[in-house]
Amino acid sequence: MRWIGGRESDNVDDRRGSGGGGLVVGGGIGTLVIALVVYLLGGDPTAVLNRTDNSPATSQSPTGPQPDDAAASFTRKVLASTEDVWNKLFAQQGAQYAEPTLVMFRGATESGCGTAQEAMGPFYCPADRKVYIDLSFYDELSQRFQAPGDFAMAYVIAHEIGHHVQKQLGVMDQVDELRQRLSRSEYNRVSVRLELQADFFAGVWAHHAQGQSVALSPEDVEEAITAANAIGDDRIQQQTQGRVVPDAFTHGTSAQRVYWFKKGLKTGDLSQGDTFNSREDANLQ
């Protein structure tokens, strides 16, 4: 993956210097344990941690060189690239894209959705419209999920930004309204469609970023596909509990996630990303 220009975004709240000091009262150890289990099963930890208050966290920017500065710089570049793409796409629709803030932290910090922990992996919090990531996840992506490479990491960030796009389009709010009206298994199926659309949006970003802010090789694309395949519900469930429970899926199978990312990458066309009504992926295993 080669950068063209390599602009770094300023929309970053760098809390790495606060260590665990960003953790404030309100999370509760029981909630954290439950959220960790949900994450390991491929679920959305923000559903467990969701709350309404937006108490700001006390943060401290790191001073001096940090061991993960290269990853931080890379993250800022990916975020900048997503800003360029989504600003352009929203403008084409006569709308304005509100650029999100990305929070980098170590260990734990506070979010508008509760306490963010390293073990949860990257996530988007709709309450404060921020993306949270402990940069050590890049190592986990490479080692635990066997999905190394810089474009694999870029795909993960672009997926979370995809959730921000859904929030702005009103899709996320519509899905959240269904939470109280559907059974758990029914809502899980809707959640899967939400996640697959975020994968599609990640592909749309890559389509439009190509030649604009990044130069991608076939090997780069394969890295993203490997990452999408590695974090499918079926694969994670098999690894963590030794069996696959489709009714508990919240993000989609590996094949579904790869399919929708590749479709976004190929077309770059937002009108083709209605994962909620489309069942073109229904027979994928």
Q: What is the pTM of this model?
A: 0.80
Q: Which residues of 29-52 are buried (b: 16+ CB within 10 A; e: fewer)?
A: eebbeebbebbbbbbbbbebbbbe
Q: Which of 218, 213, 19 is nearest to 109 (CA)?
A: 19
Neighbouring residues of 186: CB distance < 8 A, sequence distance ≥ 6: none
pLDDT in tens, 189-236: 898 899 999 999 999 999 999 988 989 889 988 888 787 766 655 444
Query: Is the pLDDT reported for residue 21 higher than 50?
Result: no
Q: What's the rounded mean pLDDT across residues 76-102?
A: 97
Higher pLDDT: 3 or 61? It is 3
pLDDT at 263: 95
Higher pLDDT: 86 or 248? It is 86
183 in Cβ contact with 266 (< 8 Å): no
Q: What are phi and psi of 277, to 5 degrees?
A: -105, -15
